[in-house]
């Protein structure tokens, strides 16, 4: 069950249509399983359709590449030169997205080398681990991180104006950006804050309004991501 369906000593001579279809179909099925697990475990921040489709197709593509290369070194260098002209324009995802991509690559490599049993076992174990970790909320903090935007008049000393309020309502706060707005007549402060448990966000906003002259205040549910 865990032996390769190809002859490792002469892969080119032993590849048949049946073994080729087995590798590709296995890679597609396992890729679909990985994609479904990814969708089910990221309900709060669902991945895009293009990323889900990539997780399905990527293992099959890797499997075909491995089948084409086989043990031929010349083919390996030719494919390396061909792939060097490819440029990926999309912004890199988070650590979890990159992990899923590596997961799909590993399944594709195992399928392309003919180790169908190992590919299936590896995919099943890692998917089960992901589901268990997500169900137990492993590593998830109970405190909520948010982005706080405060608009202030230009004559307000913002360095100490909100320190007392933020210390009472947050576990951690960090001033990440200061910029002008409204043709330079106002400033906007952008904080990354971690709200304490059992805190009413309305109370925090009301106290901040008393100190910024009742100008605009925004509390965004997730921290700002870096713009490219």
The DSSP-derived string for 32-97 is HHHHHHHHHH-SSSPPPHHHHHHHHHHHHHHHHHHHHHTT-HHHHHHHHHHHTT----SPP--HHH
pLDDT value of residue 11: 45
How much of the chain exceeds pLDDT 70, in percent?
77
Per the prediction, the chain carries an average pLDDT of 80
Question: Is the full-model pTM beyond 0.85?
Answer: no
Higher pLDDT, 144 or 137: 137
User: Would you say residue 226 has pLDDT above 50?
Assistant: no
pLDDT digits (tens, 9 = 90+) for 116-137: 888 898 899 989 998 998 888 7
- The answer to whether 138 and 187 are in contact (CB under 8 A) is no
* Residue (of 58, 66, 62) closest to 4 by Cα position: 66
pLDDT digits (tens, 9 = 90+) for 70-96: 766 766 666 666 566 555 555 556 778
Higher pLDDT, 206 or 160: 206
Mean per-residue pLDDT for 146-167? 88
């Amino acid at each position: 069950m865990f032996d390769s369906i190809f002859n490792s000593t002469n892969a080119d001579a032993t590849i048949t249509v049946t073994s080729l279809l087995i590798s590709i179909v296995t890679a597609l099925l396992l890729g679909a399983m990985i994609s479904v697990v990814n969708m089910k475990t990221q309900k709060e921040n669902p991945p895009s359709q293009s990323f889900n489709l990539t997780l399905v197709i990527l293992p099959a593509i890797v499997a075909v590449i491995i089948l084409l290369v086989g043990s031929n070194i010349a083919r390996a260098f030719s494919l390396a030169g061909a792939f060097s002209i490819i440029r990926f324009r999309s912004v890199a995802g988070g650590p979890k997205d990159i992990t899923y991509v590596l997961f799909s690559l590993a399944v594709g490599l195992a399928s392309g080398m003919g180790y169908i049993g190992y590919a299936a076992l590896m995919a099943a174990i890692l998917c089960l681990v992901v589901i268990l970790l997500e169900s137990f909320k492993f590593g998830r903090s109970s405190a909520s991180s948010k982005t706080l935007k405060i608009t202030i008049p230009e004559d307000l000393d913002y360095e100490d104006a909100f320190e007392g309020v933020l210390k009472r309502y947050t576990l951690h706060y960090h001033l990440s950006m200061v910029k002008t707005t409204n043709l330079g007549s106002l400033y906007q402060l952008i904080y990354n804050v971690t709200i304490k448990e059992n805190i009413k966000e309305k109370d925090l906003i009301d106290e901040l309004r008393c100190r910024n002259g009742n100008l605009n205040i925004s509390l965004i549910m997730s921290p700002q991501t870096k713009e490219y």
